[in-house]
Structure 1
């Protein structure tokens, strides 16, 4: 026997991280379910190339740099002689990853003429691209989400001729901002902030203390592009603002004591007097060649967070920030809802993008790692041949698949609502009646985000860390593609951002019990369940009965009891919808693996009892049969490619 040393003995072979576009069974099934075949064939080459490009070694080098060289305030926010400054410095990795996303049009995809022919499908395809990019993006998708929401808000207002005349100054300002948000040139492109959170209320924006005062256009100055700054002057303190390096922001502020909140657009920079003292600058030279300064913003301090560490999240003091009102005065909550509906989908996509990458690593690791073949035996067995390990991965894959279906279906409905293209037939899952699109989206918006992001936390832990043992707990920056700990830390925040689980559960309940709109949302959800399970008589009876019971509970229950049970109600609704979507997906091509996932979910969530045929069949299956089914769920019907090379 020879003892091991630091350089001799056993070394685990590194797994090869495959292109997720090809490797992720759920990604492929969702693409097939929601995108017509002709369009799917058109976009597949580009999606496959993106899946390859996000795994390039230089991308992982940028990720490592972004994690090591975190944003900071030069001098702690002061010059050497004590003058206050707001010079934010971001690292090369962060800037490089942002540039990659901009060049690939990760946000612009849904808005530019290049993809106009995709119609309502552009939104789902955009989210699938975010999904592939997420785990390699080092959280640059966080400002990407807010940029997406702000772009949609500006697009909606620019399409209205009633509120913005063709020759108005505000239209020119908003159009310029829209053009920057959708630019693929990193030197011109903007990201956007979304400033709502304040110290008194957190997710409860009703306690907002920021105040906007109308001061008119005189001596308002101009932004970095020479366009007039807005006629409103905003003062206040935003306690949690991501994307501090953005080019613009959307924020909420009060205008009158009893008027409610209003929404505002503000550029982040304005032209300054070239001879004035420098008090506000951003990363780079202390005197920028364009002679600009921050637009009435002072960075109080940067937040030190558990995850998403490269994102420059800050406390901001606003003093005389010039802004333009978006929409009607006092209608800010409704305006910001446009942004939130989109950023909430991004939260779910972020979780699923991280989980999808982690599953890819766990699957590849199972093709390289060996364990004892039997209790006390000396034979070795690859992990993917272990019935227990494969059952665990199959269960996790089924959970992931259900969350993918719910999230991407929500994105599909969002695309229909944005393009207003529903035909109204209601005969197909992808073609809901036109009258139900808006109420369906209202319900799904809170429902999917709360459920998916909350359920993703244990999923990420099991896949990111536990499936790799102790290796999964390490930061692994020396092999960034195996840094599962980073994925776990970054994913957990999504259950908090854009509304905690309890806040969103309350939102959903208010939507479903609303005096006027509640019935329409319940009708829309019922249509979804009926249509999803329409081809499966057994599942239809079970899920429609479950939904009918839940609907009766919502319509007849005392308000105080319903509010106390809001989380349980949201989870029950989400699981009925996921079950229906999994049944529909399985029926679409009669895939044995998809049918097995649907049956397992129905059993796991007690839609099927222990005496059901499915439960009896599962109990009677041999170990070999179970292993074959689990392997098909995890790796697809073709099984794993055990000849994958070690090339990380």
Structure 2
């Protein structure tokens, strides 16, 4: 026997992470289910290339740089003689990752493509691939997306804008939707204050209409395009604001206590002719009445600059009407919540890819001296198979919501489509109103323990921050995934919001009608399609649970439902997922997806486990984890 040393003996082979556009069987099924074949054929080459690019060593080097050299205030917010300054410093890796996202059009593709109601699906498939490698740059990207959509909405009704407002809004929109890193912008979204997180009713930020006199023209922002600063002066304190390095922000402030909050667009920086550079040159750029009080020190998302901000005479432009801030910001929130859920399943998808790669190269003992790869270990494969079933369940719910978002932005005159479960036009808005809150409350909360389970599946090495092998750094993904259930509305906040949506005096009935249409239409598809094992008992079981949930929602008042909102809403989410699972198995049938669907229905109590039903052998678990007809570690596309 020879003793091992630091350089001799056994060394574990590094796992390989494959192109997820090909290797992630769930993502492939999602694309086939929700996209027409013609669109899928068009986007596949570029998406496949992105799947390769996000796994390059260069990208992972940028991720490591962004994680190691975290954002900070130069001089801790002071110059050499103690004068307050707010110079935010971000690392080169962070900037390069942002530039990569701009160039790949992960936000712009929704605004410069012609896929109509499928634009959002095309976009979020890209985001899904990018999420595990972007080091949180998609967080300001989400707010960039929301701000672009809000401005697009106002620019579509130009008669309501003054010539100067039109110029300001169009300029910001053009920057937000650019693919050129030299001109592209991100945006902040400043709502949270010390008085409350998602509750903005107690906002202490005040906006005063204070236009510049005609004899003294408004100073310009730091954009070299003659863009003036706005006529509103805003002062207050924002407690939690990400995207601190953005070029603009959308924020909430009160103009009049009787009117509620209003929404504003504020450039982040302005030109100051009196500034002096280190070499003595006059003129330069400074923050627009904004002081960075401090940067937040967080459990995860550490590469993302998140700050407390003091606003003093921050100049801004009113968006829409006074007192309509909640209505305006809801456009952004719907989009940022979808981004957050896509990030959750994106982290989970990448974590499962790491777990699959590790299982393909790691051996484990089976007793009596026997050893086997983890990819052939019955217990390990059962664990990963169960995780994969849960992952696909969340993917179905998230991407159905994405499809509704696309339909809401590109309305169609009919519900005729090759894509299943496309609702009639009049039900799109009510369904999206409920699902935008429901899918985030359920998905982000459910994904966290699943990502943790992937980390656990690597044993001790999964707990390490493997910066030297960044492609398997699942611990980083877990830390960052934890925030999904917190920002853009916590699990409870959004469960309560879903209850308000279905109990609203004017629109709640239509929302329940939309949910009822979804369930019945989906169960009809399941009854007509393939998947005999699923449809025999699943249809009746899901309908029974749905009728129980609906009856309770109709019977009880909002005050009665709120204490149990999480349980009620998450059970409703499981009903919707069960319907989607059965539709997927019916539209694109196969033994593997039918078994996955059966397992989900049994696990969630829609049907009982019966002797002899389904397949629970190693081969089936391997097929669920790695794809049908594909051995662990084998290259090529995975299929469920």
TM-score by length of 2: 0.95
Aligned: 1:504 with 2:494: yes
Secondary structure of residue in 2 paired with 1:227: coil
Structure 2: distance between partners of 1:427 and 1:228: 48
CA contact (8 A) 1:422 1:432 kept: no
Aligned to 1:223: 221
Structure 1: distance between partners of 2:328 and 2:128: 26
How do 1:97-136 and structure 2 match up within 5 A? 97-112=97-112, 115-116=113-114, 118-136=115-133
Aligned to 2:476: 486
Aligned: 1:628 with 2:627: no
User: Do the aligned partners of residues 131 and 643 (structure 1) sit closer, same or farther apart at CA in structure 2, a change above 3 Å counting?
Assistant: closer
Aligned to 2:532: none
Partner of residue 149 from structure 1, selected from 141, 146, 160: 146
Deviation at 1:286, TM superposition (A): 9.4
Deviation at 1:644, TM superposition (A): 6.5
Structure 1: distance between partners of 2:57 and 2:282: 34
Secondary structure of residue in 2 paired with 1:205: coil
CA contact (8 A) 1:145 1:343 kept: yes
Secondary structure of residue in 1 paired with 2:12: coil
Aligned to 2:427: 436
Aligned to 2:533: none
Aligned to 2:530: none
Secondary structure of residue in 1 paired with 2:293: strand
CA contact (8 A) 2:79 2:85 kept: yes
Measured against aligned partners, the alpha-carbon deviations of 1:297-344 in whole angstroms (never above 9, x if no partner) come to 110000000000011100000000110111111000011000000000
Structure 2: distance between partners of 1:241 and 1:633: 41
Partner of residue 320 from structure 2, selected from 305, 315, 327: 327
User: Do the aligned partners of residues 516 and 639 (structure 1) sit closer, same or farther apart at CA in structure 2, a change above 3 Å counting?
Assistant: same
Structure 2: distance between partners of 1:437 and 1:643: 41
Partner of residue 409 from structure 1, selected from 385, 395, 400: 400
Measured against aligned partners, the alpha-carbon deviations of 1:597-635 in whole angstroms (never above 9, x if no partner) come to 11111100000124xxxx32348x5xxx61111111111
Aligned: 1:342 with 2:335: yes
Deviation at 1:276, TM superposition (A): 3.8
User: Do the aligned partners of residues 505 and 643 (structure 1) sit closer, same or farther apart at CA in structure 2, a change above 3 Å counting?
Assistant: closer
Structure 2: distance between partners of 1:644 and 1:182: 36
Partner of residue 186 from structure 1, selected from 173, 181, 185: 181
Deviation at 1:120, TM superposition (A): 0.9
Structure 1: distance between partners of 2:105 and 2:430: 30
Structure 1: distance between partners of 2:605 and 2:73: 53
Secondary structure of residue in 2 paired with 1:535: helix
CA contact (8 A) 1:426 1:432 kept: no
Measured against aligned partners, the alpha-carbon deviations of 1:80-118 in whole angstroms (never above 9, x if no partner) come to 111111000000110110010011111101011xx12x1
Aligned to 1:304: 297
Deviation at 1:640, TM superposition (A): 2.6
Secondary structure of residue in 1 paired with 2:612: helix
Partner of residue 511 from structure 2, selected from 496, 521, 527: 521
Secondary structure of residue in 1 paired with 2:344: helix
Deviation at 1:642, TM superposition (A): 3.6
Structure 1: distance between partners of 2:440 and 2:310: 30
Structure 2: distance between partners of 1:145 and 1:323: 21
How do 1:468-487 and structure 2 match up within 5 A? 468-487=458-477
Secondary structure of residue in 2 paired with 1:51: helix
Structure 1: distance between partners of 2:37 and 2:387: 28
Secondary structure of residue in 2 paired with 1:121: helix
Aligned to 1:281: none
Question: Where do 5+ consecutive residues of structure 1 fail to align?
Answer: 279-284
Deviation at 1:424, TM superposition (A): 3.4
Measured against aligned partners, the alpha-carbon deviations of 1:536-582 in whole angstroms (never above 9, x if no partner) come to 34433222221121111011114322111111111011000000001
How do 1:366-381 and structure 2 match up within 5 A? 366-372=359-365, 374-375=366-367, 377-381=368-372
Aligned pair count reads 622
Structure 1: distance between partners of 2:540 and 2:239: 49
Aligned: 1:313 with 2:303: no
Measured against aligned partners, the alpha-carbon deviations of 1:270-299 in whole angstroms (never above 9, x if no partner) come to 1111x3468xxxxxx898997221111110
Secondary structure of residue in 2 paired with 1:565: helix
CA contact (8 A) 2:421 2:521 kept: no
TM-score by length of 1: 0.94
User: Do the aligned partners of residues 408 and 398 (structure 1) sit closer, same or farther apart at CA in structure 2, a change above 3 Å counting?
Assistant: same
Aligned to 1:449: 440
User: Do the aligned partners of residues 643 and 559 (structure 1) sit closer, same or farther apart at CA in structure 2, a change above 3 Å counting?
Assistant: closer
Deviation at 1:217, TM superposition (A): 3.7
Partner of residue 386 from structure 2, selected from 390, 395, 401: 395
Secondary structure of residue in 1 paired with 2:309: strand
Measured against aligned partners, the alpha-carbon deviations of 1:476-523 in whole angstroms (never above 9, x if no partner) come to 111111111100000000100000111001100001000110011111
Aligned: 1:617 with 2:612: yes
CA contact (8 A) 1:155 1:178 kept: yes
User: Do the aligned partners of residues 158 and 69 (structure 1) sit closer, same or farther apart at CA in structure 2, a change above 3 Å counting?
Assistant: same
Aligned to 1:420: 411
Structure 1 consecutive aligned stretches of length 4 or more whose deviation exceeds 4 Å? 285-290, 425-428
CA contact (8 A) 2:97 2:137 kept: yes
Aligned to 1:214: 209
Deviates more, 1:629-638 or 1:469-478: 629-638
Aligned: 1:177 with 2:168: no
Structure 2: distance between partners of 1:500 and 1:642: 38
Structure 1: distance between partners of 2:184 and 2:622: 44
Question: Where do 5+ consecutive residues of structure 2 fail to align?
Answer: 528-535
User: Do the aligned partners of residues 351 and 55 (structure 1) sit closer, same or farther apart at CA in structure 2, a change above 3 Å counting?
Assistant: same
CA contact (8 A) 2:107 2:177 kept: yes
CA contact (8 A) 1:211 1:253 kept: yes
Deviation at 1:423, TM superposition (A): 1.3
CA contact (8 A) 1:427 1:531 kept: no
Structure 1: distance between partners of 2:172 and 2:253: 20
Structure 2: distance between partners of 1:355 and 1:287: 52
User: Do the aligned partners of residues 66 and 535 (structure 1) sit closer, same or farther apart at CA in structure 2, a change above 3 Å counting?
Assistant: same
CA contact (8 A) 2:33 2:419 kept: no
Deviation at 1:534, TM superposition (A): 1.1
Structure 2: distance between partners of 1:22 and 1:452: 24
Structure 2: distance between partners of 1:382 and 1:247: 50
User: Do the aligned partners of residues 379 and 517 (structure 1) sit closer, same or farther apart at CA in structure 2, a change above 3 Å counting?
Assistant: same
Structure 2: distance between partners of 1:51 and 1:29: 16
Secondary structure of residue in 2 paired with 1:528: helix
